[in-house]
A = this chain, B = another copy of it.
Amino acid sequence: MLRMSTLLLRTLRDDPADAEVASHRLLVRAGYVRRVAAGVYSWLPLGYITFRNIERVVREEMDAAGFQEVHFPSLLPREPYEATNRWSEYGPDLFRLKDRKGNDYLLGPTHEEMFTLMVKGEFSSYKDLPLSIYQIQTKFRDEPRPRSGIIRGREFVMKDSYSFDLDDAGLEVSYQKHRDAYVKTFNRLHLNFNIVSAMSGAMGGSKSEEFLAPCPTGEDTYVLCNKCGFAANVEAMVTATQPYTGSAPAAMEIFDSPNTPTIDSLVDLYNKKFGESVSASATLKNVLVMVDDVATAILVPGDREVDLKRVGANLPGAKDVRLFEDEDFQNFPGLVKGYVGPQDAKKLGLKVYADPRVVIGSHWITGANAKDKHIRFVTHGRDFSVDGFVEAAEVKAGDACPECSTPVVIDRAIEIGHIFQLGRKYAEALGLSVLDQNGKSQVVTMGSYGIGVSRAVAAIAEQTHDEIGLNWPQEIAPADIHLVAAGKEDELYNFADKLGKDLETKGLRVLFDDRRDASPGVKFKDAELIGIPFIVIVGKSLADGKVEFRVRKSGDKSELSANNAAEEIFAAVRK
């Protein structure tokens, strides 16, 4: 029985100054966590019990799926991370240090290399596969903007798994097993979540999905179709397009367009000049970017902005995508800033990628590659061609769902899990091969799967709290029952003490507010803040043979017979 008279716990009346999100505010106020440094937190007793409850659920589900638990150090030598190029690719997010002999080490931000090497060290035959192994371990990432308390910290606990298979079909099976295990895990954690298509991005690989817990203050933005359930993160949203069905336009025609610094001013001039009523979507923006070292025009309709993250995630092989700067224009003197059009791209030395909305046959008002001049009827396939299509335009609420064409919504969420098919990148870099059935060496294919264990504490808090405090699902809560002795008389405390022991005998976990120097009002407020699912109050009505039973979530109150309180509480709680 946890006793508040001796528990290392002080609740706070006021919100911490640096807390922007509810979970951060409440976990600090309710005495679950304390800040040590930016993005670095300590766990107080109630917080650590909660954390360990979540860790236990995760471990049980991983074990139930047949994954084997291993454990790696945090302090890792540089060499394997050199072999995969991540020592430098990781940039300033990686904590690097030297030992007393001057050797380079890093603090593991994720353990692909180590898992690959472990399997390489032990296994050598196709008979040893498939294999899925996991660890629950502390990770370190020097986030540029650690925030939201334990949601985005610099030291945090992750469950990371890796699967090892001989071929793609095997990887598909392992991936699905993890996906199923994650669904079970998050259901047991009482998290509301969507499984969202994701780009695997910098990690290299193919199929990838994120488990996102919707939350108004979440960092992740994603697209959701409330009709068919389609969900994708913004990078992975696919534009629904339809073939061009209009008539073929007239030949290209240049027109004067002075003083049109914006799309709106161009549209105004155009409509006046030609007596039409087109909108911005009839114009074509040529957004100039450097894709690694290649000057590239990204074509999007004039009513859309380019989303560079979407471009980067969807242009195969692209590592760095950035907007043109003044120096870049100096390298391409043929480009007239503000008047670029794709019809002269080859001459100008540009690669061209189009947003899928720029369908073949469509015609556009665009720059004439000459100062103060635009051009109309510029037709895709007739007057210009592209090096490829790329998902480039920013995603907006109301865009058509690619699966059922219903307008999508854009929602915010916390990423609580991520699964993806890594493929052979790490196995190739580190030489993990096995002999196949024919005695031939085959590079192993891998999957990578992560759950934010410490983050899940905050995600659950975000989804379950209300305006008065935390509000835990029972399996996650630091106790089943918050037992309050409300008053000054010894009898109350003696009765409550005995009741707490009886409840513990029945297998319930009890937090007993046995403080003599706190008023009933303070105790009730603390119980609401701490968020244990059931509250039992031993107070004045004990004289009438009653104790009070409250359900934290619903606020329902009922009176129980004091004589039979343990049995009645047990029945209410376990029902």
Q: Is A336 an interface residue (CB 8 A)?
A: no
The answer to whether B44 touches A70, judged by C-beta atoms less than 8 angstroms apart, is yes
User: What does the 1/0 interface line of A67-107 toward B look like (CB < 8 Å)?
Assistant: 01111111111000000000000001101110110000101
A123 within 8 A of B: yes
For A9, A73, A105, A114, which residue has the most chain B Cβ atoms within 10 angstroms?
A73
User: Does residue A203 face the partner (Cβ distance < 8 Å to B)?
Assistant: no
Residues of B within 8 A of A100 (CB): 92-93, 142, 144
| Most chain B C-beta atoms within 10 Å of own C-beta, residue among A7, A49, A68, A105 | A68
A95 partner, pick from B8, B44, B45, B97, beta carbons under 8 A: B97
**Which of A33-41, A404-412, A536-544 faces chain B?**
A33-41
> Which residue on chain B has the smallest CB distance to residue A118?
B42
A17 to chain B, nearest CB (A): 15
Q: Please, which residues of chain B bring their CB within 8 A of the CB of A290?
A: none
Q: Which residues of B contact A95 (CB under 8 A)?
A: 75, 97, 99
Q: Could you tell me if A99 and B155 are in contact, using CB atoms closer than 8 angstroms?
A: no
CB neighbours (8 Å) of A119 from chain B are 8
Do A43 and B71 have beta carbons less than 8 Å apart?
A: yes
Counting chain A residues whose Cβ lies within 8 A of the other chain, the interface size class is 35 or more
Name A's interface SS: mixed
Interface residues of A in 147-202 (CB under 8 A from B): 154-155
CB–CB A122/B75 < 8 A: no
Q: How many copies altogether?
A: 2
Would you call B155 and A73 a contact (CB within 8 A)?
yes
**Interface residue ranges of A18-69 to B (CB < 8 Å):** 31, 34, 36-37, 40-45, 48-49, 51, 66, 68-69
Residue of B nearest to A122 (CB): B10
A330 close to chain B: CB less than 8 A: no
Beyond A97-B96, A100-B144, A118-B34, whether A73 also contacts B40 by CB under 8 A is yes
- Which single member of B7, B8, B48, B114 contacts A36 (CB below 8 Å)? B114
Q: Which residues of B contact A93 (CB under 8 A)?
A: 100
Interface presence of A133 (CB below 8 A): yes
List residues of chain A with CB under 8 Å of any chain B CB. 6-10, 31, 34, 36-37, 40-45, 48-49, 51, 66, 68-77, 92-93, 95-97, 99-100, 105, 107, 114, 118-119, 121-123, 127, 131, 133, 138, 140, 142, 144, 154-155, 517
Closest 3 pairs (CB-CB, A-B)? A97-B97, A43-B71, A92-B100
